[in-house]
Amino acid sequence: MNNSQQDIPVIDIPAQTHPWSTVLALAEATDDPTDWRLTGGLMVQLHAMARGTEARPTTDADLLVDVLTHQHAVRRVEDLLKSLGFTTHVGTLSDYTTRMTRGTAVVDLLVDNHLSPFLKNRARLDGHPLLGMPGSRKAVARSMLVTLRYEDTQATMCIPDVLGALLMKIASWRETHQGDRSRHLYDAALLASMIDDPRKELLRLDCHSPSDRRNIKTLTEQLAGDDADDYFDPLSPEQVAQAKMAINEFSRLLAMPRHGGRQRSICDNRLRYGDDVERGKLRGDAKAWCTWMLDEGRWAQGANYNAPAAEQGTWRRAA
């Protein structure tokens, strides 16, 4: 979780009607806010409201249920929604389902898309398997608490932070093969404009993670070129400049070494604990890995193996 109890933002929701009324009621009734995370269009709206800007409208509530940490979370969320009058809507084209409805109100429940067979048995809605959400595991790790408020009612809940939301939207665009998937790129452009410190957020990315590299590659390919201007049309010139600066900074991840294994761990420990990186002590990939230095926020490839770790920078990363 990327905020403490002291810095949980309070966000006023616009109206006590679905979907916000449902999300607020569910958050009030949830004992552990990490059971589920608000995702989809409402996630983007919430980040936008926190910054006083606009996001595209949506009427559905998408919830990512964290069965990796809470094995019985699906049952708890299902029971709470049923207590609010929702019933399961079984898909007609397959045995999978995600949807619970109450009249015209819709809530979609999704889970991690790489569950073990044991956890798949826990990820069922009225006996039907739930669908997986692209980019969900990293989004769970990159999350934050927020407090929703409407008049005198408030409740704390969990959402992916801006970085987690951005990469989740990019993963959703790549993995979606039906419907209008362009909405994910419009959302991604808006979220990129909310990255206040791109260099700091770059340090939270993992150059050894295939999913991080794949998502940044997709982000760069889809939003860094001249043919991506349409996705920035709803933004102000200042937002466009901030978004493009963030995307350009994140693209540096693709130039960083991707090698892992024991040699990388040796190098990581030397950098972490401040030892000198001595010529001849490291070989092959580890030596190449060690030559990447953070110099005043800039990644550069160097050759001074004897420089103290404090001068070379550190490769420690947050989740």
Q: Residue ranges of the domains in the chain?
A: 5-160, 166-255, 262-312
CA distances from 60 to 42, 63, 102, 104, 296 (A): 8, 10, 12, 10, 43
Determine the average pLDDT of the residues in 160-188.
93
Residue 31's SS3 state is: coil
Question: CA–CA separation, 37 vs 49, rounded Å?
Answer: 17
User: Residue 198: which pLDDT band, with cuts at 50, 70 and 90?
Assistant: very high
Is residue 162 within 8 Å of residue 194, measured between CB atoms?
Answer: yes
Cβ neighbourhood burial of 316 (10 Å; 0-12, 13-18, 19+): exposed
User: Residue 283: which pLDDT band, with cuts at 50, 70 and 90?
Assistant: very low
Q: Which of 15-24, 90-99, 190-199, 276-285 has the highest mean pLDDT?
A: 190-199
Nearest to 148 by CA among 308, 287, 9, 313: 9
pLDDT digits (tens, 9 = 90+) for 287-311: 344 334 343 333 333 333 333 343 3
Determine the average pLDDT of the residues in 161-183.
92
Q: Is the pLDDT of residue 155 over 90?
A: yes
CA distances from 10 to 45, 102, 153, 191 (A): 14, 28, 12, 19
Q: What angle do CA 22, 114, 177 make, to 5 degrees?
A: 75
Q: Is the pLDDT of residue 175 over 70?
A: yes
Q: What is the largest CA-CA distance in the chain?
A: 70
Tokens of residue 252, six digits: 């540096």
User: Residue 6: which pLDDT band, with cuts at 50, 70 and 90?
Assistant: low
Strands 143-150 and 10-12: parallel
Q: What pLDDT score does 4 carry?
A: 57
Q: Is the pLDDT of residue 285 over 50?
A: no
Is residue 99 within 8 Å of residue 108, measured between CB atoms?
Answer: yes
Instruction: Identify the weakest region by mean pLDDT among 3-12, 86-95, 209-218, 304-313.
Output: 304-313
Cβ neighbours around 188 below 10 Å, total:
29
Is residue 86 within 8 Å of residue 105, measured between CB atoms?
Answer: yes
Q: Is the pLDDT of residue 279 over 70?
A: no
Tokens of residue 78, six digits: 């299902």
The reply to whether CATH 3.30.460 applies to domain 5-160 is: yes
In the chain, pLDDT over 70 holds for what percent of residues? 78
Q: Is the bond leading into 19 cis (omega within 30 degrees of zero)?
A: yes
Is residue 53 within 8 Å of residue 100, measured between CB atoms?
Answer: no
Residue with tokens 């550069």: 300
Buried b (16+ CB within 10 A) or exposed e, 129-162: bbbbbbbbbbbbbbbbbbebeeeeebbebbbbbb
Determine the average pLDDT of the residues in 48-60.
93
User: Residue 242: which pLDDT band, with cuts at 50, 70 and 90?
Assistant: very high
Question: CA–CA separation, 246 vs 243, rounded Å?
Answer: 5
Tokens of residue 272, six digits: 């972490």
Question: CA–CA separation, 274 vs 281, rounded Å?
Answer: 15
Residue 273's SS3 state is: coil
Nearest to 223 by CA among 207, 246, 202, 255: 246
Question: CA–CA separation, 315 vs 203, rounded Å?
Answer: 8
Q: For the chain, how far is it from start to end, CA to CA, in angstroms?
A: 9
Q: Is the pLDDT of residue 21 over 60?
A: yes
